[in-house]
Structure 1
Amino acid sequence: MAPLLWTASGGFAALAIASGLGARRRHRRRDPDAVGWVDWPTVQMLSLIGLAVTIGLAFKT
C-alpha cells in the first residue's frame, strides 16, 4: 500500500509543479484578453492538498 501512496504523492507533486508553471505563464502573457480556461492556482492548491494527504498516509502505514 505504501508504494502506491508514494507514487500518488509523486504524481501530485508533478501536477503542483506543472500548475505552478502554468500560472506563471498565464501571469506573464502578452495579450491580457487571451484568457485560458484552467484556473491554475486552484489546481495547484488542490494538488498540494492531495500531496499532503498522501504523504501523511504513506508515513502512517
Structure 2
Amino acid sequence: MVILDAFATGVDVEVINGDLRLIAWVDHGDERRIVGRLVLPDGVARALIRDLRKALASSSN
C-alpha cells in the first residue's frame, strides 16, 4: 500500500460484504478531500484492530 498523505483530519469506517473499509480525508475550507482508501478482509481488519489497541495501550501519550 502506498500512503498518499500521512495526515488525515478524519476517517470513516464501513463494513460491506464482510470487508472493512477505511476512508481517510482532509478538510480544506468547506471542501473534504479523500486522501486514502483501504479495504481489508475480516481477518486482516481484526489483526489491525488488535495491533492498534496494543500500540495505543503501550503508548506514553
Give your verdict on TM over 0.5.
Answer: no
What TM-score range do you get, normalising by the shorter chain?
0.3 to 0.5
Normalised to the residue count of structure 1, the TM-score between the two structures is: 0.36
Higher helix share: 1
Normalised to the residue count of structure 2, the TM-score between the two structures is: 0.36
Which of the two has higher C-alpha Rg? 1
Higher strand share: 2
